[in-house]
Structure 1
Amino acid sequence: MRSRQVLPTVLLALVALLAVAPFLLMLLVALSPPGSPTIPHRLPGSLTLANFARVLAAEDFLRWTTNTFVYAAVSVVAVLLSASMAAYVFARKRFPGRDVLLWSMLGTLMVPFHAVFLPLLLLVAALGWVDGYWGLIVPSLANAQAVLLLRQFIRALPDDVFDAVRVDGAGDWRMYWHVVLPLCRPVLATLAAFVFLWHWNDFLWPLVVTRSERMWTLTVGLSTMDSGHIGIAELMAAATVTAVPCLLVFGLLQRHLVSAISGQGR
């Protein structure tokens, strides 16, 4: 019995080590003093934060960080609000054409993003949103996956809860704000983590919709830093700083993620 427990533990430890190794190597290079080898074969004799200081002191890097934070944070709030409203309507309201509208929206999941990439870019350009926050944020707000996940969660909620609130005279807005949103907290936290990570690490759309350097996000900015003008240690320091918000978001929402995945979030 004990040997059966040891083997899965060893395998999981190896998989975890393989997953963490690139991040540890990135951090080690970022902390290395100038002149250190690109791929260190052993721990450097001394560690330094000078690479991080030079990266954080760069005006462009701070501007890219601000753009990325606005892009990710505003998208999270907007997607959660719009998707939860749509999901509540699809799950609890009856109106003509509901199923047709729902399946039409879900059908967009079958269409690859690259298929609508050019029409979407032309539409954004026609609206004058190129090289601005509107062009970055608005096209990603219609999230059919979020609507589907929330709809299934809301449909599974007990009908007695909604009936009791309606007996008290609550309308749809009160029902949505005081009943649906609190009960959907675990799945909302899960979606918030996924949407934030997706936008924070997004590269293709910010690359084509932004024109000036001042509107670049971190992913676009980092791709231009690897041009021989800075050292590999500074580049790894910038990549490490970029990864920190993702780790913080996952750490803060880990409890809700596990609760939603295990089905105990109700």
Structure 2
Amino acid sequence: MKKVLILSLLLFTGSLTFADSTYVYASYFYTYGDFSNKGTSDDHGAYISTVLGYTNILSGAFNKINREDKDWLYEQNSFFAGYTKVLFPLYLKANYAHITGTFDYKPYEYQYKDKTNLFNIGAAYYVPWFYLSAGATYLNVDGFKPVDVYSGVLRADYVPSWYFSLTLAPQYTKVSDGRSMFGLNVKLNWMINNNLIFRGSAFTGERAYHFDSDLFTIYNQDETQKLLLSGTIEHRLFNSFALQLSYQYNDFTNYQVNYYIAGIKTNFTF
């Protein structure tokens, strides 16, 4: 579960401040997962996003996860690529992810491999104080349990100032195994002062194989996710360097997960 905002309000910051520059955001995050069924996970993620002039944003990420139980080990590598075209007040976005995994069952030396391809598109339109958007995701899992996943989301971002935003996003997910699910996402961004930011998010309802295009995060579990609660504090130590700490609680069918996240973020222009 890779966990970083590839810049909340990146579109606005890039277009207003660095219209004639190349502006680069880079970050690294470590996540430790504690599962109620006694398993654990380690997650290393590296992210980069580049604003080219006024109208183009390129993003990429690599993520490596090891999830371990007493009888098995699952290793997963994820590659993400994204592109945003700014045609203010219209924004167009496309993302792709390729995920590979290896499952080792220790007692019997049993192993299998899986792979996942993900395609995501979205569009947003600005009206005063609001960004209204829609997005769709298709995901194909080729592994122990092959499935196709279709997801659609409508979203409204209320942005009354540079210091505060509130997001509501109802979501529909259909999995080829017969599940049809609805849920609601809520996100809050609050810049307490120039050096301190609080972010909170919540999900309630049902979904599976969820992809968050803000975070370049995919919850690549087959179990139905019923609840997510998350809080983040970001402290900017210098003009171009920040530390971030997060806690996230997830409730899936049959188990719960607590994630503890620490990361560093930097940016520069040339």
Q: TM-score range by the shorter chain?
A: under 0.3
More strand by share: 2
Largest Rg, 1 or 2: 1
Greater share of residues in helix = 1
- TM-score, normalised to structure 2, is 0.21
TM-score of the two chains, using structure 1 as the length reference: 0.21
